[in-house]
């Protein structure tokens, strides 16, 4: 449960600082450029309406599934609810293809976010996470991050993109993170794609029940994760981006 709370709060708390090497000028420039681009995109980017998407579908023809997929990946990099895109996928492509496009785009977008934030920030942040409680949680995420990620993805109220950013600052590995994102996001994605009535004001009570059940299962997974032991592992030194330990 400890790991879950840190994800929900948007990142690991910095409890105790120690002197570290300052980031390179190039890294600072990249970080500044990324920050400006992030703010600009967040301010200007908006989820296209269903009518706009239908127009794009007519103009792009057979390429529209790829165009839609790329747009989904782009939008999901930012703190913009992806629910509208998932619903649109179900309406435009049908249940099967809509779910496939949404789930693969969701997973790829999450991995891209994790790698970008990790490359830009983790080397600077990780040496400052020296408090024993934070180290314990970090070790738990490194060894069993898939369980926390899967559980949190099943809780509809946990912001998707914020969780990606927070995960990037931990030692959760890329492959377990990707698989957990795919599996944990699947139930809610399927529900949104199939039962769009919930978003149009005609709420299906069974959809609401299913969302509540998924949230309970997600919290249950966090509780299980909190009770399982972790192995004592030495704190790794900052080494830049390492995909195997990402």
Looking at residue 5, what is its pLDDT?
Answer: 46
185/44: higher pLDDT: 185
Mean pLDDT for 216-232 is 62
Please, which pLDDT band fits residue 98 given cuts at 50, 70 and 90?
confident
* Residue 129 main-chain phi, psi, to 5 deg: -95, 70
Looking at residue 241, what is its pLDDT?
Answer: 44
Mean pLDDT for 228-236 is 53
pLDDT in tens, 127-165: 655 656 556 666 666 666 777 788 888 777 778 888 888
90 pLDDT more than 70: yes
Of 91, 93, 108, nearest in space to 196 by CA: 91
Q: Which residue has the tokens 């795919």?
A: 182
C-alpha 77, offset from chain centre: 8
Cβ atoms of 20 and 128 within 8 Å: the answer is yes
Mean pLDDT for 198-219 is 60
Highest mean pLDDT among 79-88, 105-114, 227-236: 105-114
pTM (predicted TM-score): 0.68
174 pLDDT more than 80: yes
């Amino acid at each position: 449960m400890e790991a879950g709370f840190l994800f929900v709060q948007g990142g690991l708390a910095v409890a105790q600082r120690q002197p570290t090497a300052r980031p390179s000028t190039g890294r600072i420039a990249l970080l500044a450029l990324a920050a400006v681009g992030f703010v600009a995109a967040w301010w200007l980017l908006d989820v296209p309406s269903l009518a706009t998407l239908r127009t794009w579908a007519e103009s792009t023809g057979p390429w529209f599934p790829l165009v839609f997929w790329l747009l989904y990946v782009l939008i999901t990099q930012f703190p913009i609810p992806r629910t509208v895109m998932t619903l649109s996928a179900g309406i435009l492509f049908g249940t099967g293809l809509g779910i496939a496009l949404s789930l693969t785009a969701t997973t790829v977008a999450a991995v891209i976010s994790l790698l970008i934030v990790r490359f830009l920030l983790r080397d600077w942040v990780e040496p400052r996470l020296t408090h024993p409680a934070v180290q314990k949680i970090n070790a738990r995420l490194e060894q069993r991050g898939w369980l926390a990620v899967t559980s949190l993805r099943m809780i509809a109220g946990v912001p998707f993109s914020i969780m990606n950013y927070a995960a990037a600052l931990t030692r959760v590995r890329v492959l377990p993170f990707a698989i957990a994102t795919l599996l944990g996001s699947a139930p809610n994605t399927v529900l949104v794609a199939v039962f769009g009535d919930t978003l149009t004001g005609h709420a299906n009570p069974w959809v609401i029940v299913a969302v509540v059940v998924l949230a309970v299962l997600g919290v249950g997974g966090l509780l299980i994760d909190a009770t399982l032991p972790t192995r004592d592992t030495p704190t790794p030194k900052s080494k830049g981006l390492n995909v195997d330990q990402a």
